[in-house]
Amino acid sequence: MRRTALLASATLLTALLPLTAAGSASGADEPAPVPVDRFEGEVPFANQPADGIFTWGGDTDDPPALQLTDRADAPEGAKVLSGTYEISGYGGFTHDFAADQPAHDWSAHKGIRFWWDGQDNGKKIAFEIKDGGANGEASELWTTSFTDDFTGWKQIEIPFADFTYRTDYQPVGGIDHVLGLTQMWGYALTLPVEVKGQFAMDDLELYGKADQSLRASVTTDSVVYPVREGGTAQVKVSVATIGSAPIDEPVTVAYEAGGGTAASGSDYVPVKGTITFPAGTASGTSRTVQVATRKDKAAESAETVPLKLTVTGAKAPAETPEVVIDAHGLPYLDSRLPVRKRVADLLSRMSLEEKAGQMTQAERAGLTSQGDIATYALGSLLSGGGSTPTPNTPEAWAKMIDSFQLRAQATRFQIPLIYGVDAVHGHNNLAGATIMPHNIGIGATRDPQLAEKTGAVTASEVRATGIPWDFAPCLCVTRDERWGRSYESFGEDPALVESMETVIQGLQGRADGRDLDRGDKVLATAKHFVGDGGTEYGSSTTGSYTIDQGVTKVTRQQLEAVHLAPYRTAVDRGIGTVMPSYSSLDVLGDGQGPVKMHARADMINGVLKGRMGFDGFVISDWNAIDQLPGDYASHVGTAVNAGVDMMMVPYTYKDFSTTLIDEVKAGRVSGKRIDDAVARILTQKFKLGLFEHPYADTSGADEIGSTAHRAVARRAAAESQVLLKNANGVLPLKKSQKVYVAGSNADDLGNQTGGWTITWQGASGDHTQGTTVLQAMRRAGGDVTYSKDASAPLNGYDVGVVVVGETPYAEGVGDVGNGHSLQLSAADRAAVDKVCGAMKCAVLIVSGRPQLIGDRLGEIDALVASWLPGTEGDGVADVLYGKRPFTGQLPVTWPKSETQLPINVGDASYDPQFPYGWGLTTLTGVPEGNVVTLKALALAATVAERAGSAQAGRDIVTRARLLVQQKVGSALTASVAAPFADADHLLLTGKYAAAVAKLTEAYRAAG
């Protein structure tokens, strides 16, 4: 039977209902309940566009099992909807109304109700309704919840006024943010996780009459109204209704200013009155209340004037609007003064509570209320991976951050927030942004100038959305490719990492910080201090991680040479912030054993701030202090005393702030330490120009994802491609060739961009704007046929291109042994075997780290390490078709087997598949020669080194390297690989003559 209940007349519906339900209306003027689902079989299990109930979940095990069950105790009819579930990620079920029929009108009713068979498990169950849009899967989501804390059947009633706009996920990015109720497409329930459970529900219906106080509301156009002393605040008061219908009854709003820190009469003109919106007033109608302030000659901190609103006939605003008379005349507000003087003046005026607030950073989605920004005087907010506004647009980002900054204006000294985001390869949380290759690919370019340009593009796009702070770059030195963060590193050689730190100038500008207040620069963060890339496999104790957040065991010399070296360079380059690592450091012989980095005062206070002279501030990693030993108070005290200045406590910001205050009062954290931390934070805020310009400068927003920005990313993608093998000159391809393309990563933008893209872990598929490798090959003019699994006929082609590799992951989720390996998938191996067995072939590996390919290397003609090239697949096509030559070099050693790991340049035993620094070229005119040629190059290198001519030295070593690679071909042995890799390290350290000598050794070893 087709469900038409909501379109039927009230009389017919009443006749269909059982007497108990029909008589349950609580007043003669209330409409009869209207059935939505009776669960008697009238609604099938089906998907859009059909009318039906369907399940969903985070993976194959998460969707619940549903059925219609005969129950003697059914509250209505004979059947109920019942189900079982055991959900690890997320799961639930939905009823979408038929998309080929009109949407339903629920606006006449007070709310929705249903019977629930309680299991008394104490779990919250989210209930969601779908409003507006094209259909049930393209509608706006509004949500609330109820708690299963009872046993047996209970009728759950939810007034529509209880539903709030869902901010964590909207399928269409939101429509109008108004619960209209006139175009409803169904509902959904999200079931509890981490519990094995069952449920039953029955008789879901609309109930009651929509009363005006539930569907009409009074709002103000802002919550905070900053105004200069002597100015007049304009507070717009509006009335609005759900469904946008005119109001049925009068609404009155009595207002009166007073009760804040400003004095009535002397600081502002007293104001009191009443606004009346008569019956029939259109939804959205506004009136303005003016609050005039008075000017005197005194310098003052900000003062508040709450405007109390008493509403009759509608719902009152959730918060009392507040007029703020701006702070004025105080030295810290004078931009002509040196920053140090401004900091000293402001610091001298602040209370302990205000200082603790500056040291606290919360996640935007973790705020209990936006009012907490002022209540706790918060110093910072962040967006974690995937924490985005809805819709995920530049305009929405700027509007969101401006709304947070406005809240900070309601504090005594109006200290602006510093908002941070993980833009680790472009503004990667923002849909449509320019996504660069991940750092591992940037390291492969060996191009410091290009690294700086990628940083500049990232900074420009980030700052244009109102964000002044980037948690990048990662200066980790990756020493084991089983690490899930390998791709966040520029490479395994600290000298390579140091050479790529030009990215800091791209992000921040000049080292003295004078460019930080520009609209295209951001504060950068060196992370993760120190040794995060050196953790031992199997040492992690974080969940199922195997290596990430584990223990780095090193000698003092190894610590200095490998892991600390990049931070010395970063400090010299003026890095503004540093983030400690989750991992532990065990310096052999120091007697401390493994100590979490957030607790290592010897490294943060002693080495970083003391010996290196770092004068920025230290920001903790996400909830990192929770991993320290002891109770929460000791977590806070230990980290702050170790030198951490600001704590990233996404959801526990209240606990941190109050605990820090208690620790200071108890004498366990000194006031001097607090002042040092706050002074460091304020210094960067002043340098960024946030006191003068706290709100977003969106003048550069038009450049986000622009052709010019994408051109930089395209060049980076091209230069990052490393040609490992090229038998018989298979590459570059010719446009006249018929090319057979296969493989899982040929046409998948999500796999190509990797983790930290739109969401923390990233995802396969199209989730932003860009060009896949396949699309780029076609755009390049290639004659291309595509078959992902190589199932299409293989005959008649000149060459095959198989694009394989990894799917996205981030951090320890990607650790080898945690659901990941360095082996190609079975499908990828099959695609390689099919194509390379039938024709000449080139295999591209799109991955964050080397993949074990040795067992198939013999059947592969050309092999390319493509890394994670970002959104601009055109850069890959540029080198495939010869528009640009292959010039990339391995930033890490490519192992033969997993048993070799860890394997790195300089190891005593070194026999890789391909050595560090390896990279064939398709440049024309590759130098030829022999030992005599190399001897001449060695002499020239010595001259260049003595003259301090870096460019000449690099050019000479590059010529020698290409000569040696041509001689070696595929005859790579351990005796060749070791000196070859050493040569690239020596080149990066400016030892050009020694590099040529090592290359000569490799040449001779090749026979």
415: tokens are 């200290």
Q: DSSP code of 694?
A: -
Residues in the chain: 1007
CB burial readout 527-557, b (16+ within 10 A) else e: bbbbbbbbbbbebbebeebbbbbbbbbbeee
**Lateral strand order in the sheet of 584-587:** 551-554, 584-587, 595-596
CA distance 992 to 984: 9
The stretches of 170-317 forming alpha helices (DSSP H) are 212-215
Ranges assigned E (strand) in 58-195:
65-70, 79-86, 91-96, 109-119, 123-131, 140-148, 151-159, 164-165, 184-190
695: tokens are 């709100």
CB 96 within 8 A of CB 135: yes
Which of 117, 621, 815, 828 is an active site residue?
Answer: 621
Which of 422, 447, 811, 815 is an active site residue?
Answer: 811
CA distance 119 to 1: 32
Peptide bond before 49: cis, by omega within 30 degrees of 0?
Answer: yes
Q: At what angle do helices 931-947 and 992-1005 cross, to 10 degrees?
A: 170
CA distance 781 to 775: 10
Cα dist from 324 to 61, 321, 402, whole Å: 53, 10, 16
CA distance 136 to 100: 11
The enclosing H or E element of 208 equals strand 196-209
CA distance 551 to 535: 5
CA distance 797 to 809: 35
Contacts of 741 (CB under 8 A, 6+ apart): 774, 777, 784, 785, 786, 787, 800, 801, 802, 803
CA distance 571 to 795: 58
The enclosing H or E element of 448 equals helix 448-463
Give burial (CB, 10 Å; 0-12/13-18/19+) of 458.
buried
CB 513 within 8 A of CB 526: no
Residue 248 catalytic?
Answer: no
Peptide bond before 448: cis, by omega within 30 degrees of 0?
Answer: no
Q: Of 1003, 717, 719, 716, which is closest to residue 889 (Cα–Cα)?
A: 719
589: tokens are 């012989």
- Residue-by-residue DSSP string for 453-501: HHHHHHHHHHHTTT--EE---B------TTSTTGGGSS-S-HHHHHHTT
Hey, CA dihedral for 588, 590, 594, 598, is it positive or negative? Answer: negative
Task: Compute the half-sphere exposure of residue 30: CA atoms within 13 Å on the CB side of its CA.
Answer: 18
Residue 621 catalytic?
Answer: yes
360: tokens are 């606290």
Per DSSP, what are the bridge partners of residue 741?
Answer: 786, 801
The separation between CA 16 and the C-alpha centre of its own chain, rounded to angstroms, equals 51
CB burial readout 297-306, b (16+ within 10 A) else e: eeebbbbbbb
CB 170 within 8 A of CB 140: yes
Q: At what angle do helices 653-665 and 632-642 cross, to 10 degrees?
A: 70
Residue type, 983: A
Question: Which residues are designated catalytic?
Answer: 621, 811
